[in-house]
Structure 1
Amino acid sequence: MKNVSVNLTCSSDANPAANYTWYKGNQKLLSEEPQFIFSSIQPSDSGQYYCTAQNELGRRISESVSINVNYAPKRPSVSVSPSAEIVEGSSVNLTCSSDANPAATFTWYKENQQLIQGPESIYHFPSISCEDRGNYQCKSENQFGWTNSTSLVLDVQYGPKLPSVSVSPSAEIVEGSSVNLTCSSDANPAANYTWYKENEDSPKASGQIFTITDIRAEHSGNYYCEAQNRRGRQNSSLHLTVVAGAWKSAATGTITAVLLVILLPAAFLWIRRKKKSVTQQSNGGERPDNRAQINMGPAATQRQPAEQEDDLNYSSICFLQNQGDALYSNIRPPQPRRQTEDQDNVDYTTVKTENASSAPGTRRQDDGEDVFALYSTVNK
């Protein structure tokens, strides 16, 4: 074993006593003593040794003895071939070298995970890929010990992989907002990025992130980014949809509300008038005389009390030729009574319109409408 003390002894029966000379192979050593001592034998001391014994009567040579110094593996070194740039798809060898006696076995590791173990000191990649890049290390081992090599960084160059594209914010894109388009691709060396819009020849931007501020409807469309390095290029696309801003929606809602405010009352009045017209036609039928019947009872000739006259409304009533038409009246607010000579000649009466098919004096209520009285000036 390495570093132990070893003694070689040469002896011969001679008279007079012999002188001794030591040899290693064909090399003469300096010692002329019967013992040749290795105080801390080294691997370099391994070899074939012999001695000679000589006096004036003659010379004899000993048989040789073999010294084999065993030792644990020395720290291994790792090398890569070819030593130039390693491109994806090429053939690559990793070699682990370690001095050991007896010969070492080798174990290969990648990122501290074991790959293979055996007597071969070479790890072979027939067609290296980007997944093979990383840190490699080997362990050299025999029955006397083991040791690990330093790490070797294996750099594999390759063109960009298919880029991934994304938009932020990922929710609905509203006019006037700011939007970031992001493109990323695995590549070695690192890729350069260029942004294009569909059907446009000139690029829109360069860099991994494309920012659109104050986005508008015309920004909608298909965008794609191209990732490129000296080993190749790839591109991916995305579709961008821009919706109207909230202020436009509010303006549309306001216009709609204004139109409803204008149109609904008019529509309601038209429907009400139409409904009254249909009701009068269904109740009136055909009459020989389109004039309304006026019931002039005794109460008609009675004067209204003076305290109630201010509450009356006065109107001029025209009976139309076609009963199916709506009944219109011009209503005037009550006017202060004037003292004229004709005032005593005016009678006030309650005027009722009755259905020809109804008995005189019958009150009518259609579709939930209350019976109402019309007050009129009757000229005698």
Structure 2
Amino acid sequence: MLSPEERRDMIEVERFILIGCLLQASPPKPKLTEEKVEVMEGTSVSLSCSAAAPCPKLPPNLTWTPRLNDSVDQLQENENKTKSVSSVLTFTASHLHHGQKITCRALYKLQQGDNQKTSNTSLTLRVLYSPKNTSVSISPSGSVLEGSSVTLTCSSNANPPVQHYTWYKVNGTEINTVGTGQILTFNVTESSGSEQYYCEAQNEHGKENSTTVQLEVDYPPKNTSVFISPSGSVLEGSSVTLTCSSNANPPVQHYTWYKVNGTEINTVGTGQHLTFNVTESSGSEQYYCEAQNEHGKENSPTVQLEVDYMPRISDSGSCNRTAVEISCSCESRGNPSPSMEWRVSGQRVTNSTDRVISEEQLGNTGLRSSLTIRHTQRDTPTLLCLSTNTLGSSSLRLLVPSPQQHPGKRAHISRL
């Protein structure tokens, strides 16, 4: 027994058989195996289309749109003795086929004139597949100011839709899970700019990772410091270069140099490098730099130069005389710290009962030496104070007052 639908189709075919070869009748629609197809990506799909052939000598031509692959066509006889043409299209399902409309079209040529008639039937493919084209978008786009909020959004193409998102942070070789859900929001820090992020999208058929993204984080200068070249001690009169270094994004746009001398602070230059010739006084001064970009500024700690110079004897040296002794003092400064010796009438003085030498260190670079000599009223010796370090020496000749004079004073300073 034929169903009502099959009986109706047969009547339509018989009607077309009776008049189709002679008259311009409307051909019946081709038949597809199903109206909708649901398949898994990667599996083979076969679609079958058949159309009535009332005139075996002029069978219909079947075509597929889109043409996914080659098809196999054949003319066959049905159980009711009618003829039909069938076409089988076989292809491998891809996620690109999901939601695609596939149409089988039958083209009939009629004997009466050159007229043609077409009819078609379509179906929509439903392809199941794991996540594809997973990617991360950043909002706001571009650079982000340290301390502000940023949102990462994971997007992925999948059927059924993605059911689970996981976020990961990459820091060097270390990978940590930092969140779940399609959206990840957090406040950025300076270190966020050196980290990378990616998301994992998963449904019941599989999962896929996005490529990593890296944030561009803006922040004011940090860790500002000064480097001295050459390092270590610097010889008086030679050139020294101070370099200011700072971590900032965008990079530092302006450097300013300052010199501190006691409570006095003066601007001494601009630019990342400061070059000058050092003097003895440079060793008692301190320097620092200020680094600035559009987001703020920061000062470095102060640095102090170590300046090497040969001994310098102070012109404050003098001698005093009493009835029984002569007392003289002499001060010298140098770097490395100098040594001092006394010479009386050309002979080096060593500590003894009659000649006593005492010394007092004045900071890291100074030395004060005192000499006490027991004498008779007739003695008026010639005294020389000699100061030496690895860079050279300096001397000061002191006049000893005669018994009738007031406390003595220096005669002259000479450098050896």
| TM-score in terms of structure 2 length | 0.47
Q: Which residue of 2 aligns with 1:39?
A: 91
In the alignment, residue 179 of structure 1 is paired with which amino acid? V
1:31-180 equivalence runs, <5 A: 33=51, 39-43=91-95, 44-46=97-99, 68-104=126-162, 105-107=164-166, 108-111=168-171, 113-116=174-177, 120-125=181-186, 127-134=187-194, 135-168=196-229, 171-180=232-241
Q: Which residue of 2 aligns with 1:318?
A: none
Does 2:320 align with 1:230? no
In the alignment, residue 14 of structure 1 is paired with which amino acid? R
Stretches of 4+ aligned residues off by more than 6 angstroms: 249-255, 270-274
In the alignment, residue 7 of structure 2 is paired with which amino acid? A
In the alignment, residue 103 of structure 1 is paired with which amino acid? P
Q: Which residue of 1 aligns with 2:320?
A: none
In the alignment, residue 140 of structure 2 is paired with which amino acid? P
Pair 1:97–1:258, CA change in 2 (3 A): same
In the alignment, residue 275 of structure 2 is paired with which amino acid? T
State the alpha-carbon separation in 1 of the partners of residues 199 and 235 from structure 2: 58
8 Å contact 1:193–1:206 — kept in the other structure?
A: yes
1:1-380 equivalence runs, <5 A: 13-14=6-7, 17=10, 21=31, 33=51, 39-43=91-95, 44-46=97-99, 68-104=126-162, 105-107=164-166, 108-111=168-171, 113-116=174-177, 120-125=181-186, 127-134=187-194, 135-168=196-229, 171-191=232-252, 192-198=254-260, 203-218=267-282, 220-240=284-304, 242=306, 245-246=309-310, 248=312, 256-259=341-344, 261-262=346-347, 264=349
Q: Secondary structure at the match of 1:185?
A: strand
In the alignment, residue 98 of structure 1 is paired with which amino acid? S
Q: Secondary structure at the match of 1:163?
A: strand
Q: Secondary structure at the match of 1:39?
A: strand
Higher helix content, 1 or 2? 1
State the shift of 1:203 in Å: 2.7
Pair 1:260–1:193, CA change in 2 (3 A): farther
Q: Secondary structure at the match of 2:158?
A: coil
Q: Which residue of 2 aligns with 1:290?
A: none
Q: 1:97-151: per-residue Cα shift (whole Å, max 9, x none)? A: 11012333333333464343776222211x2211111333333344434433333
Look at both structures and tell me which one has the larger radius of gyration over its CA atoms: 1
8 Å contact 1:88–1:128 — kept in the other structure?
A: yes
Q: 1:160-194: per-residue Cα shift (whole Å, max 9, x none)? A: 12412344555445533443333322110111322
Pair 1:259–1:48, CA change in 2 (3 A): same
Higher strand content, 1 or 2? 2
In the alignment, residue 261 of structure 1 is paired with which amino acid? G
State the shift of 1:248 in Å: 4.3
State the alpha-carbon separation in 1 of the partners of residues 333 and 283 from structure 2: 22
8 Å contact 1:106–1:138 — kept in the other structure?
A: yes
State the alpha-carbon separation in 1 of the partners of residues 5 and 180 from structure 2: 45
State the shift of 1:212 in Å: 3.1
State the alpha-carbon separation in 1 of the partners of residues 268 and 203 from structure 2: 63
State the shift of 1:154 in Å: 1.0
State the alpha-carbon separation in 2 of the partners of residues 13 and 197 from structure 1: 103
Pair 1:119–1:161, CA change in 2 (3 A): closer
Q: Which stretch has the larger CA shift, 157-166 or 211-220?
A: 211-220
In the alignment, residue 130 of structure 1 is paired with which amino acid? E
Show structure 1 runs of 5+ residues with no match: 1-10, 50-64, 275-380
State the shift of 1:246 in Å: 3.0
Q: Secondary structure at the match of 2:191?
A: helix
Show structure 2 runs of 5+ residues with no match: 14-27, 37-47, 52-85, 103-122, 314-331, 356-372, 378-416
